[in-house]
Structure 1
Amino acid sequence: MAAQPAQNERIDRLEEALMEMAYQSRKTEMELAHLSREMLEFKGEMRVFKDEMREFKDEMLAFKEEMLAFKEESQASRRVMDRQWGEFKDEMLAFKEESQASRRVMDRQWGNLANRLGTLVEDIVAPGVPDAIMQAFGFDVTEVSVRRRRKVDGRVREYDVIAVAAGRVFLIDVKSTYRREYLAEFDSALAEFPLFFPEYQPAAAVAVVASLNLSSEIIDLATARGWLALQLSGGYLEFVNSDQITL
């Protein structure tokens, strides 16, 4: 009878062992199933990743080809720009040389014109003086002389135009461009006129500043001195301040 409980105890332990084995087997199956699902999911993710990597690789290859094409296009554009810049520099150099040559010619022409302009102005003024005096004052001009130059006591004076009319001597100072500083020079020449040309005494001297075009400042300054101002107007010489000067 004592052997019976021991046998039952062994049977119980065997059943527990079998149950534990069955539990562990089931647990292992569940873990394997879970691992299998995870592996399937991982394989799916890897497949997607491989596809994405393949697309990325294709995009990178296309980008590389675009960059290569851009580089080649940039190099071609750079060559064109370098050529155009070289041509532009050559053109600018030629233009500079041409401009310098033109300027030398222009300077020479202006120099020639400046040398002739004094005579040219007198050639215009002197012939027109008789008509201008007649129109402004009704005087008949009996004598006109140009560039009257005389030396007295080692000093020389020259008067551009001298016109005689109605007992008056019109002393005309002609300048291509009449500047303010010329007024003082003419004032000095007027004071010495009787010394250099006494034969015109006792005729009254009438001072006249003349140019093709006088500035309003020169006209006002001349008028303030009691001098006449003569300039070209409408193709004719005209005393522009004769209404303000009493002879």
Structure 2
Amino acid sequence: MEIIEMVQEKVHDIENMIRDVVFLQHRNELTISELAQEMKDFKDEMKDFKEENLKERRNMNKQWGALANKMGTIVEDLVSPAIQPLVQRYFGVEPIEMGIRIKRKRESLKIELDAIAITDEKVFVFEVKSSPQIDYVRYFVDHQIPLFKELFKEHGGRQIVPIFASISMDKEIIAECTRLGVYAMAYREWDYMDLLNFEDLTPQGT
């Protein structure tokens, strides 16, 4: 009789242990499930925040671009601040000299450059237009660049990198820039100023 009671007691203890283990396992599963849900909720909130932040930044850039266009300060407000980071990012060098609204005249020849950036081996020449057109790109290549070579002979040993810039740019204009070997600079999806055809011109520009 005592043996039976001892066995029953052991069985009861084992049942209690199993019940405790099952309870703890269930509670852990609930905790893990709750944690996973909290992580998912957090990721969703962060995604919504980033999307909203991006939307606000794009709207702000549109408004800032429209204001700069209206005030005639695209060069100063939008293009000039982006020159150094773009040159460093895409060409791996820091300009040793930069300037905007540069004029030069010699006899009957004269030119006004919207912006330039000079490195040891290259000189970046910027043409900025508030309302870009294909004819402006062609004029930049056919007239402004040859005139630059004539009036800025001190840069004769440097590679000229022409950049046509605006707030935004149609695909047709970007395609014409690429065809003529000109980098197209504008807002990328109203997020940041960028070279929109760099990959297409990389063999020529690096």
| TM-score bracket for the superposition, by shorter chain length | 0.5 to 0.7
SS at 2:74's partner residue? helix
Partner of 1:37: none
Greater shift after overlay, 203-212 or 133-142?
Answer: 133-142
In 2, Cα distance between equivalents of 1:240 and 1:181: 19
Identity %: 27
In 2, Cα distance between equivalents of 1:120 and 1:226: 23
In 2, Cα distance between equivalents of 1:223 and 1:184: 11
SS at 2:96's partner residue? strand
Unaligned runs of 5+ in 1: 1-111
Change (3 A) 1:186 1:214: same
Is the aligned partner of 1:215 residue 2:170? yes
Partner of 2:193: 237
Partner of 1:128: 82
Change (3 A) 1:186 1:176: same
Query: Which residue among 166, 172, 182 is the counterpart of 1:227?
Result: 182
In 2, Cα distance between equivalents of 1:232 and 1:206: 19
1:228 deviation in Å? Answer: 0.7
1:185 deviation in Å? Answer: 1.9
Query: Which residue among 184, 191, 200 is the counterpart of 2:146?
Result: 191
TM-score, normalized by length of structure 2?
0.60
**Max radius of gyration: which structure?**
1
In 1, Cα distance between equivalents of 2:70 and 2:196: 27
In 2, Cα distance between equivalents of 1:196 and 1:162: 14
- On the 8 A contact 1:140/1:166 being kept in 2, the answer is no
1:181 deviation in Å? Answer: 1.5
How many residues get paired? 135
Change (3 A) 1:151 1:136: same
Partner of 2:18: none
- On the 8 A contact 1:144/1:162 being kept in 2, the answer is yes
1:115 deviation in Å? Answer: 6.1
Partner of 2:136: 182
In 1, Cα distance between equivalents of 2:174 and 2:123: 20
SS at 1:141's partner residue? coil
Query: Which residue among 141, 147, 151 is the counterpart of 2:101?
Result: 147
Unaligned runs of 5+ in 2: 1-66
